A and B are shown apart, each in its own frame.
Chain A
Amino acid sequence: MWKKIFDWLDERLGLVDLYKNLLDRPEPQGNWWNTLGSASLFLFIMQAVTGIFLTVYYTPSPDHAYDSINYIMNGVAFGWLIRGIHHWGATLMVIVVFVHMLRVFFTASFKYPREMTWLIGVGLFLLTLGMGFTGYLLPWNQKSYWATTVGTQIAGTVPFLGDFILKALRGGSNLSALTLQRFFAAHIWMLPAALAGLIGAHLYLIIKHGESHFPTKDD
């Protein structure tokens, strides 16, 4: 009975092919350093899920942002857990993505034919940092307010364009409700959309080219 249903679905969806190509790929000799990409993907999914849950209670307005997070931490069942995972997962994701990048660099896995995988990966790393930067402001506490003041100020030191970049980031000359709102929009819509798209391309290329062998002493 179940087999019949599965066969019917498989014939139309190609489930077995999908499984073989996505999860049953041949791998070079196992190495834990090669799991960092999957770990990054897992963390991205965790951040997406917990982030979506946080928006249920979070309010991106200077009047309510701090109080709403206070409420998530103290008033909602398991709010501390959901925000805790999102908070620590963010730090962990930056670390894991960076170490993944180092691994690819030191094993020379970025070479032909994987140059595009590498370049897209660089984009993914920058987007991850962008997520960290925009997410840091959202609690709207002293630390996040001043960190963003400093961060945007640094971006503002670019020669000639600096003032324009600063205003574009802050949504004006000052850190204000507009800054919080645009950081929120970037954090939950623009950057995740770009991340998801580039992750798709990154994964496609990994499946297309397979994973690179670990270099031996002779290489």
Chain B
Amino acid sequence: MPDNELNRRDFIKVTTGIVGGLIGAAIGLPAISYLLDPAFKSGGKEAWIPVGKIADMEIGRPYPFSFTRVQVNGWERTSTSHGGFAIRKSEDPKDIVILNSRCTHLGCTVNWKDDAQAFLCPCHDAKFSEEGMVLDGPPPRPLDRYADFRLTDDGILEIFYKES
């Protein structure tokens, strides 16, 4: 038999190797993508959340709002509550400060107190001004703001929310 011809044994070996490799690749590559699937998914759903009618918001008085978001991780649903205050500074509907009511110290919910003219945190007596600035207590920074907001045509204030 000439040297350049495959004998039966080698043919079987090569064929087994090729078929095995194909089967391995056909299962191995999907398996890798199966394993790494969560890393390829783009998380962080975005939404415009309605806060309330702009007409209902008194100028200079914090308007409380809250909303709930359901996050789906695989087969598990977690709902988280969020809240905040919208404060109109003037007649201009764009002149609004929207604060997150989550205290920047340890995450308790702050409440607006009319007599103190401040946001008070029930946990460690933190005090924030109407602008969200720290007046007293342990918080390391001012209240977070919802910086992206818009007004719909029928006068509803909406904030932009993005899941982390």
Give the interface of A toward B (CB within 8 A).
46, 49, 53, 56-57, 59, 64, 67-68, 70-71, 75-79, 81-82, 85
Identify B31's interface contact among A59, A68, A78, CB under 8 A.
A78
From known contacts A68-B74, A70-B75, infer whether A77 and B33 are also in contact, taking CB-CB under 8 Å.
Answer: yes
| Pairwise interchain contact A77-B75, C-beta atoms closer than 8 A | no
Number of A-B residue pairs having CB atoms within 8 Å of each other in the complex: 42
Identify B27's interface contact among A59, A79, A85, CB under 8 A.
A85
| Pairwise interchain contact B34-A67, C-beta atoms closer than 8 A | no
| Pairwise interchain contact A71-B31, C-beta atoms closer than 8 A | no
Q: Complex Cα distance A18/B155, Å?
A: 80
| Pairwise interchain contact A77-B37, C-beta atoms closer than 8 A | yes
Q: Which residues of B contact A68 (CB under 8 A)?
A: 74-75
| Pairwise interchain contact A78-B75, C-beta atoms closer than 8 A | no
| Pairwise interchain contact B74-A77, C-beta atoms closer than 8 A | no
Q: Which residues of B contact A79 (CB under 8 A)?
A: 34, 37
| Pairwise interchain contact A77-B34, C-beta atoms closer than 8 A | yes
For chain B, the bracket of interface size reads: 10 to 19
| Pairwise interchain contact B37-A76, C-beta atoms closer than 8 A | yes
Chain B 30-43 against A: per-residue CB contact (8 Å), 1 yes, 0 no? 11011101001000
Q: Is B76 an interface residue (CB 8 A)?
A: yes
Q: Complex Cα distance A184/B118, Å?
A: 56
Identify B76's interface contact among A56, A64, A85, CB under 8 A.
A64
Q: Which residues of B contact A81 (CB under 8 A)?
A: 27, 30, 34
Interface contacts beyond A71-B74, A85-B27: sample of 16 additional A-B pairs, CB < 8 Å, sorted by A: A46-B27, A53-B34, A64-B75, A64-B76, A67-B75, A77-B30, A77-B34, A77-B40, A78-B30, A78-B31, A78-B37, A81-B27, A81-B34, A82-B30, A82-B31, A82-B34
A57 to chain B: closest residue by CB: B74
Q: Complex Cα distance A59/B37, Å?
A: 17
Q: What are some 19 contacts across the A-B interface (CB < 8 A)?
A: A49-B31, A53-B34, A53-B35, A59-B75, A68-B74, A71-B74, A71-B75, A75-B74, A75-B75, A77-B33, A77-B37, A77-B40, A78-B30, A78-B33, A79-B34, A79-B37, A81-B27, A82-B31, A85-B27
